[in-house]
Amino acid sequence: MAVDFEAMRALPIQGYLDYKGIDYTVEHNKLRLVEHDSLIVNLDKNQFYWNSRQKSGDLGNFIEAYDDISSKEAWVKWAEYGRYYNGQDTQTKQKYTERPKNDYKFDFAKWRTADTTRNSQDYLVKERGLDSNFVSNLANAGFIKQGMARKDRETGEWQKPALLFPWYDETGKVVGLDQQGTSVDFEKFGKRGTEKKVAAGADTRYGYNFRTGNGADELIVFEAPIDALSFAQMRFDGIKDKNVTLLSLSGTDHQKVLAELDRMNKANGHLPKRLIMATDADLAGYKAADVFDTLQFDGMQNLRVIPKDVKDWNDQLKSGKNDFELMSMAENHERLTALQAFADKAQSTKLNDNKVIKDEKRVAVAGSGRAKTRFDREHDRNERKQRNRVENEKIIKDALDRTAAYKNDPVEIQRYLDFVANGQNYSPRNTMLIYGQRQDATIVMGYKQFAERGIQVNKGEKGMKIYGAPSQLQSIVDENGHKVYWRDATPEQRQAAKAGQLDTHKALYYPVETVFDIKQTNATVDQLPELLPNRPVNLQTENSPEQLERIYQTLKEYAVNEQKVAVIDDAPESVQFLAAHKPMTSNGVAKGALVVDKNNPENASIVLRHDLPATDRISTLAHEMGHASLHRNTKADSHPTHIKELQAELTSYVVLKNMGIEPGDGSERYMSEWTDGLKKLADYPDKDHTLLADVTKASTAITSFLSDKLSNGETIQYEQRVDRTQQAARAAEQQALQDQANDTQGRTR
C-alpha cells in the first residue's frame, strides 16, 4: 500500500505536542515550546523553526530534531501518531485545523472555575511537597485557582480539575494564567507526567507573580510558578521582611523580565537593587540567565542563584534540603560555556551513534584482534565526516552570529568596514565568516594557495572555515519519502534511481573549506607585496586630478551599466532641483540624490550637483550608488530613512577606504555625526541580521568592479603601500598587513 506523504505532512504539529504532553505557550498564530523557547511552531503553515539549532520542517522533521533520533526512528513515531490522529472524531480534529482569530485576547471572566480549590491544594501538598498552611494562604489570597473537571476526549475518562496560576497586572486584573494538570499519566504526557500550558491569548508581557512588602527592592525570576512557590516556602524567613517580587517566566523568555523591570521602575521610581535569576540549574536555565550578563543598569546588581545538587527548586523542596549557590553573572556564563561544550560533544556523539550501520555480516572490531575490513574503514570515514560536518556548522554559525552582533558596537562596525575595504577576493558571506573568526585577518588563502607561492602554514595553526565554490549534489527520494544524498545511498537505491523507480533531485552544495591568515604562515616582508589585495589605485599617494577622474568615471560606468541607473552630473539646474526635493544639510543644499520612479522602480537616476569638487563627486556618487544597490526595490517602510542613509554611508565609506581616500578638513565633525548614526544602528532591531550583510554585498560588488576596471593589466606600485622608511621589518609588516589605521574622509551629503 502506497504511503500518502501529503496526508502525513498535514498531520498537525500542535496535535502531536498535546499527544506527547510537550509544554508550549500560545502566541497568536504561533506556539513556543516551554522547554526550548527558541523552537517555534507556525500554526498557519504547520511548520516548526528551531532557531538555536537551525532546524525546521514538518512534523517528521520535528520528531527527528526534538527526540534527536534518526529519520527511520522518527518515521515510526510519526506513523504511530498518524494512526492515533486519524482515529479521532471530527470535533477533535477541528481543534487543530480551524485556527483561532489573531485578535483573540484572554478574558478570565469567561473561564469556568470551581468554587473550591481542594483538588489543587491536595496536588501541591501531596505531589509537590508544599506546606498545607502555605497553600491554604495562597488559595485564600487568590494566587491559585481551580478549573473544572473534564472528560478526556481520547479515553472518555474524567480528568481531575487543572490547577490555575493567575497572572495579575499592576491593577490587580488577571491578564493570563498557567494551567497545570493534576492527573498523572506518563504514557500520555511523557516524562513530566502531567499537562502544562499557558492560556490562549494571555498577555505575554506578564507572568505569575507575587511579592513581599511593596516588592520594590528585589526581583527574583523563575521558570515556573511551582518553582517560585517552592523557593518562597524554603526561603520565607529570608524574604518575609524585605520588599521582594517573585516572577515566573513560564519558560525562559527574558523579555518578561525586561517588561517587569520597566513596570517596577515606573511604579516605584527606581529599579530594584538586585535582579536574581533563579532559573533551573540546567543548560536552558543558564542560557536564560546569561542574557543579563551584559545588561547593566545603574544601581542594580545582577546575580544568579541555583539549588544545589538538583535541577529546580521544587526538586530541592521535596528533597528536604535547603542549600543554594549564589554566583555572579560572569560565573554563570563560564558554567554555561562548559555545559554547552559538553552538550555539543554529547550531541555529536549521539549523531555518530545514530549513523552506525547495522549489518548482520559486520562483526565488531574492538578487542577482536583482527584487522579492519574495507567496510570498517568506510564506516570510520563516514563517522569522521559526520563529526567534522557538525563541528564546521557550529564554527560557521558562531562566526556569523558574532559578526551580526558587531552591529551593537560602533567601534566594531568601523573595524569591520575597514576589513571589508581591504578588498579580499571573497564573497560577502565569506568576508563576514573570516572576520567573525579572526578580526585581524588581512591576507587569507588556503593551504595549497600559500604552498604554491612558497609559503608554509605554521605547524599547529587553527584555520578559519568558509564556504567553497558550489557544486551540484544529486539526492534520491527513498521509499519513505526522505532525501538521501547520492554519496550516502545504497547500491540498491542508486540502481532504482537510475531505473526511474525513485525520484532524484539536484541542488547546489557549498562545501566547507579551511583557510589561513598570512600571520599564520612563515611569509617574509619581502613576499608581502605580491600577496596584498589588488587595490587598483591609492589616492593617498596618487591623488592627482587624472586619478580622481578615472575613479569617478569608473564608478559612473558601474552605476550606468551594472545598476542601470542614469547619472546626471552636468546640469546647472541640479542645485535648484536638489534644494526643492532634498532636506537642507548642515552645509546647505544636498550634494546628491537617488530619484526613483514610484510606478517603475527600474527607472532611476542619480542627480549630483554640477559644481562639486572631485573628491566630493566620488564620495557622493558612491553614497547614492549604495542607495541604488540597497533600497531602490525595497518597500518604503522596510527601514526608516536614517537607517537607509546610514547603510548608504557605510557603503560609500568602504568604497572610499578601498581607494585610499583618507581624512581631510572637517573630518572631526563628520566622524562625530557618523558615530551618532552608528549608535542608532546599534539600537535598531535587525531580526534577520541583514543590515551589515547587505552593506558588505553592495560595497564588495563595487570595489571588485573598480579593481577589475582600473587595473587594466598595469603594474600596481605595491611598494607605495609599505612603510617607506623600512626602519623595522616588524613595522613594515604591520603597515602592509593591516593598512587600516586611517580615519574616514569628512563628507556631507
Least confident of 59-73, 89-103, 440-454: 89-103
Average pLDDT over residues 56-83: 89
When pLDDT is cut at 50, 70 and 90, the band that residue 425 belongs to is: low
Model pLDDT for residues 107-129, shown as the tens digit of each residue: 898 888 888 888 899 989 988 99
Q: What is the DSSP string of 19-72?
A: HHT--EEEETTEEEESSSTTEEEETTTTEEEEGGGTEEESHHHHHHHHHT--HH
112: number of Cβ within 10 Å:
8
CA angle centred on 432, ends 430 and 437, rounded to 5°: 95
What per-residue confidence (pLDDT) applies to 614?
80
Q: Which value, in Å, is the radius of gyration of the alpha carbons in the chain? A: 31
pLDDT at residue 361 greater than cutoff 50 = no
CB 601 within 8 A of CB 633: yes
Find, among 290, 408, 398, the residue nearest to 686 by Cα: 408
When pLDDT is cut at 50, 70 and 90, the band that residue 308 belongs to is: confident
pLDDT at residue 83 greater than cutoff 70 = yes
Inter-axis angle of helices 641-659 and 410-421, nearest 10:
40
**Average confidence score pLDDT of the chain:** 76
pLDDT at residue 718 greater than cutoff 50 = no
What per-residue confidence (pLDDT) applies to 686?
62
When pLDDT is cut at 50, 70 and 90, the band that residue 742 belongs to is: very low
Angstrom distance (rounded) from CA 393 to CA 391: 6
Which long-range contacts does 40-43 make (Cβ < 8 Å, 24+ apart)?
A: 41/13, 41/14, 41/17, 43/14, 43/99
Angstrom distance (rounded) from CA 95 to CA 486: 41
CA angle centred on 329, ends 324 and 331, rounded to 5°: 70
Average pLDDT over residues 468-493: 75
- Which residue type sits at 30? K
pLDDT at residue 455 greater than cutoff 80 = yes
pLDDT at residue 462 greater than cutoff 90 = no
What per-residue confidence (pLDDT) applies to 737?
37
When pLDDT is cut at 50, 70 and 90, the band that residue 365 belongs to is: very low
What per-residue confidence (pLDDT) applies to 356?
44
Least confident of 99-108, 469-478, 603-612: 99-108
Q: What is the DSSP string of 459-502?
A: TTPPPEEEE---EEEEEEE-TTS-EEEGGGS-HHHHHHHHTTSS
What per-residue confidence (pLDDT) applies to 729?
35
pLDDT at residue 496 greater than cutoff 80 = yes
φ/ψ (deg, to 5) at 567: -115, 115
pLDDT at residue 93 greater than cutoff 70 = yes
Angstrom distance (rounded) from CA 118 to CA 120: 5
Which grid cell is 126? 501531596
pLDDT at residue 403 greater than cutoff 80 = no
Residue that wins the pLDDT comparison between 517 and 543: 517
HSE (CB half, 13 Å, CA atoms) of 156?
Answer: 2
What per-residue confidence (pLDDT) applies to 11?
92
Highest mean pLDDT among 638-642, 660-664, 720-724: 638-642
Residue that wins the pLDDT comparison between 298 and 633: 298
Q: How much of the chain exceeds pLDDT 90, in percent?
A: 17
The DSSP element (H or E) to which 567 belongs, if any, is strand 566-568
CB 533 within 8 A of CB 737: no
pLDDT at residue 413 greater than cutoff 80 = no
| Phi-psi group of 581: left, alpha or beta (phi > 0 → left; psi -120 to 50 → alpha; rest → beta) | alpha
What per-residue confidence (pLDDT) applies to 104?
65
CB 741 within 8 A of CB 540: no
Residue that wins the pLDDT comparison between 89 and 543: 89
Average pLDDT over residues 704-725: 47
Average pLDDT over residues 529-541: 53
Model pLDDT for residues 677-694, shown as the tens digit of each residue: 666 666 666 655 677 778
Q: Provide CB contacts within 8 A for 478, sequence distance 6+.
A: 484, 489, 493, 502
Average pLDDT over residues 407-417: 69
CA angle centred on 417, ends 413 and 418, rounded to 5°: 115
Find, among 257, 140, 164, the residue nearest to 207 by Cα: 257
Least confident of 92-101, 328-337, 562-571: 92-101
What are the start-end ranges of the H helices in 374-482? 374-405, 410-421, 428-437, 447-452
pLDDT at residue 382 greater than cutoff 90 = no
Model pLDDT for residues 205-250, shown as the tens digit of each residue: 899 999 999 999 999 999 999 999 999 999 988 898 999 999 999 8
What per-residue confidence (pLDDT) applies to 427?
73
238: number of Cβ within 10 Å:
10
Residue that wins the pLDDT comparison between 37 and 711: 37
